[in-house]
Every structure is written in C-alpha cells, then in structure tokens.
Structure 1
C-alpha cells in the first residue's frame, strides 16, 4: 500500500473513533441503575435491552458488548434476557473508600449500528461494617489530684459505611467518677472526650474500668467497643498517722545501755515516696537527747546511758512522723523509771557536847 493509502486509512480510523467518542459522550448517562453492594455474582442490575429498545437477536449474535475502563469487570450482559448483571461481588468500601457516592461506569457498544451507550450504576451502601477502634484496650494515667471537670481526648471509632449506616453515637459505661462528652469536629465528625465527674481517691480505688461503645445508625444498629483502664496516680493527700496518740513505758533504772525501750509506729496511706515515713524527736531538752536515741527509719527508741532513778524518774519525749512531703503527725512518749535497790542505807549522826552537873535533876537539858 502506498503512503497516500496508509494516510487515508489512518484518517478513516481516526474519524471512526471520533464518531464513536461523540456517540459515547452524547449517550453518556442515558442509563442509570443502582444496586446494593455485596450482591452475589449474576444479580440483576437493569433490563438494558428493554430500556434501549434492542432486539434480543442482536444480543444473541454477540454484536453487543459491555466495556469497562478498569482491570476488573463488574458487569456483564446476559445474552438471552438482555439484562445487565453483576460479574463480581462488589464491595463499596473497597471501591469508594473516600467517596460518598459510589458510581461505576461502563459502555454498551452495538457494533453493527456503531452506537455507544453509557451506563451508570450506583453502588448503594449496606450496613456491613461494625464501628471499630484502632486499639481495643486504652490505658490512661490520671493523678488523684486532677480537678473535676477535666477532659481527656479518647480515640475515635471508624466505620467505612456511609449515611445512617456510618458511625452515629458514643456511649460510656463504668462508674460515677467519669462521664462522656462528644465534640463536633470541623468536618462534622464526632470526637469523644472523657470527663472527670467526681474527684479521684487512689486510696479508695487505684484503677477504674470503663467501656466506650460506638454505634452506627443501621437497623439493627451495629456496635463496637473499647475498654478504658484508668490508673490513678498517687498524690500526697494523706499524712502519717501514729498507731497511738501516747506511748507509755516503765523501765527499771538498771536496764542495759543499748536496750530498745519502746518503738513508735506510724503509717501513711499514700504510696511511693509519699508513703515513706521517717521519725524525728523534737529537741526540747538536751538531757533527753543525751539519754535516748530515736532511729529515724524504724521508730525504735534506745537507751544511750545508764538511768538513775534518783536523778530522774520520768521523761516525756515528743516524736514526729513525716513523709517526703510536708505532712506529719506527732505523738508523746512517756518513759517512767522504776527504782531498784541499788543504794545501801546511810546513818547520819550529829552530836554536840555539853557540860552537865552531876547534881542536875532528871529532865534537865
């Protein structure tokens, strides 16, 4: 074939494609159908032959074809009935994850008549997805000193369905210390927040277990859950407390040096550093400090030197228990020394010599 013939052939093909394209553009959208997603393969979509007035003979002669742009063919033409049917099970969320309205397009080409018809098939959403949280277990740490009405952001649930089948509401169950608030985001999305409704007390409850539910608007509604565990962190809200307001002990004066005379005990309901108790003695008299020693860790009071009942028969000490913060408690320790027979009797005689006459009468001084 000569060059002129080849050029003429190319012009004919270009003209043919131009006519087909014009016909496709003119006919685009002439047929519109809708089907729910997840329909089984071979499900009815529309009666193409009836809607376009096509003869079933043309369909049986295979001169009519369905053409789709993508790699996957979702529709086919049933030659005997002229019905458009599904060629695959269609998942709307897989095809149109970020699109509100999911529309698939194909062309019906009638070869003998050089006609092209556009077909639009809208894939309707069904409630086939449950709202889900990225994490099924949510851990929160909260100080017991946290002020009521404080808010904490919670993870949002995701539901790929659309419309009423998508996420519609949140609900919180647990205890009276917490409530739920839902804020509207810029795009209209719902953002759940945990609200502290009642002051926390770690000594009352160190943990709180909550359940966050996300529900869609389907009929019946589908629900996804996430568990929330709130760990309450300690605050220094408890002072040490002595087991006794006053300790009284009686010891003999000959008790050995180094003996533990009494041990004071205080406890703190806090944990960690705030719960560690140390003891100290108020320096009211140097004499007591010389005689007694208080162990700051154990609260044991030991004897530093020998007691002497004749020197002192009773001592009063003031002991403090304090935590690592500024909280403390005070108790009184009374040590009574009992006498021991450690001293021999002493006879003291004093005399004065006077002269008495031999003839002095009886009773004279």
Structure 2
C-alpha cells in the first residue's frame, strides 16, 4: 500500500510575531537571519518560497544551504532614522507549491534604537530682553530653549554659561535643567546698562549648541 501526499498542511512559523532591534546607524546592506517556516508535506506540496511586504527600508534575501534547505534573511535596503520612524512593521509569507497553494505568515516588528545623531538646537541664535533696574531679586528674566529629537540621555539637554563676565556671574544664574535665567542681586542702571551672556546646551552624548543672550537694563527714577 503506497500512501500519496496531498497538500493538507500549511507552512507555519514557530512564532507568529518576531521582534528585531536595530540601531539607526546600521549600514544599508546589513543582513539579519529570519526564522524558517516548516511544512511537513513533501515534494511540490512542501515549502517552496518566501516573500516580504510592508516597508521600503527592507528587502528579503533567500539563501540556499548545503542541505538543500532555504534560509530567509532580512536585508536593510535603506538607512534607518529613529526620529522619522521608531518602528517598522513587516509581513513574512511562506508558500508551498500545492494547487491551490497554502500560505503561512509571521509578523516582523523592527524596533529602531536611537543613536546620538542630532545635536541640541536653540530656538533662537540671539535672545534679547529689557528689564527695569528695580526688578525683584529672584525674578526669571527669560528662558532659553534648545530641543533635541534624540531619545533617552541622547536627547536630554543641560544648559550652562559658556562665557560670562565676572561681574555678570554674580548677578545672573542659569538653571541647568530649565534654561531659566534668574536675577541673583539687584540691578543698577548706573553700574551697568547691558550684559552679554553666551549659553550652551549639551546633550548626554556630548553634542552641543550655543546662543547669545543680551540683557538690557532700563533706568528708573531711583536717584
């Protein structure tokens, strides 16, 4: 008695959902092995081909092993950018050669890991403010703001005074986390009409940007 095979099995993956992690600076052309599908049928009814759909950043390469088996690989076709897309959703299909053909699928979710490829950027190159000389000590004169689209510590911005005169350093204080510039002691128009500060914003990866702050003191009738 010879039992002939019929196409009664669908190609299947061990896991229906696969998650991969890639740095956004991964070089195009890089290859990543994908899980194989299994079909217990034989001959033409067994697994015949793979196909990938879902994203222009990736393509599929199928390698033939010395054992005659085929091995799918994910190929990075286009450079990644986490700030543009933090995740990519793909669908891997495995088909047999039956009539009609049966197809099994696995979903691939690619998580893009952040690299420090963006420097902080101030909202303005020069900040200007005019304040009366009788403004209260402790007041916030202005806030500088820099943004960094990177993730985690790569996107955390700290502010510092890059250049400041000794006299001005006793009058103004820059808060490193908020970018607020506060008044530490009373102003006196007769002692100084204007002050120039150079502030720096730096992220956790060491990239930075600079901006100038011009503070003008206006006179009040205090004499």
**Structure-1-length-normalised TM-score:** 0.60
Of 189, 192, 195, the match for 1:315: 195
Deviation at 1:314, TM superposition (A): 0.6
Are 1:148 and 2:18 matched, yes or no? no
Q: Which residue matches 1:88? A: none
Q: Which residue matches 2:102? A: 222
Q: How does 1:148-167 map to 2 (within 5 A)?
A: 148-167=28-47
User: Is the contact between residue 201 and residue 210 of structure 2 (CA under 8 Å) also seen in structure 1?
Assistant: yes
Deviation at 1:283, TM superposition (A): 3.1
Give the match's secondary structure for 1:123: coil
Q: Which residue matches 2:119? A: 239
Gaps of 5+ in 1: 1-120, 344-365
Distance of 1:316 and 1:298 partners within structure 2: 20
Higher gyration radius (CA): 1
Are 1:281 and 2:179 matched, yes or no? no
Distance of 2:7 and 2:87 partners within structure 1: 36
Q: Which residue matches 2:174? A: 294
Are 1:177 and 2:47 matched, yes or no? no
Gaps of 5+ in 2: none
Give the match's secondary structure for 2:176: coil
Are 1:272 and 2:163 matched, yes or no? no
Distance of 1:159 and 1:272 partners within structure 2: 43
Tell me the alpha carbon deviations over residues 92-149 of structure 1, each in whole angstroms, 9 at most, x when there is no partner.
xxxxxxxxxxxxxxxxxxxxxxxxxxxxx22211111110001111111111111111
Number of aligned residue pairs:
223
Q: Which residue matches 2:6? A: 126
Tell me the alpha carbon deviations over residues 163-222 of structure 1, each in whole angstroms, 9 at most, x when there is no partner.
111001100001110000011122110000000000111111111110000011112111
User: Is the contact between residue 283 and residue 289 of structure 1 (CA under 8 Å) also seen in structure 2?
Assistant: no
Deviation at 1:284, TM superposition (A): 3.8
Give the match's secondary structure for 1:122: coil
Q: Which residue matches 1:197? A: 77
Distance of 1:281 and 1:189 partners within structure 2: 63
Of 173, 192, 209, the match for 1:329: 209
Distance of 2:107 and 2:194 partners within structure 1: 62
Tell me the alpha carbon deviations over residues 239-268 of structure 1, each in whole angstroms, 9 at most, x when there is no partner.
111122211100011112111111111111
**Structure-2-length-normalised TM-score:** 0.97
Are 1:253 and 2:133 matched, yes or no? yes
Distance of 1:245 and 1:169 partners within structure 2: 57
- Structure 1 segments, 4+ long, off by >2 Å, are none
User: Is the contact between residue 164 and residue 196 of structure 2 (CA under 8 Å) also seen in structure 1?
Assistant: no
Give the match's secondary structure for 2:170: helix
More helix by share: 1
Distance of 1:275 and 1:225 partners within structure 2: 37
Distance of 1:309 and 1:199 partners within structure 2: 56
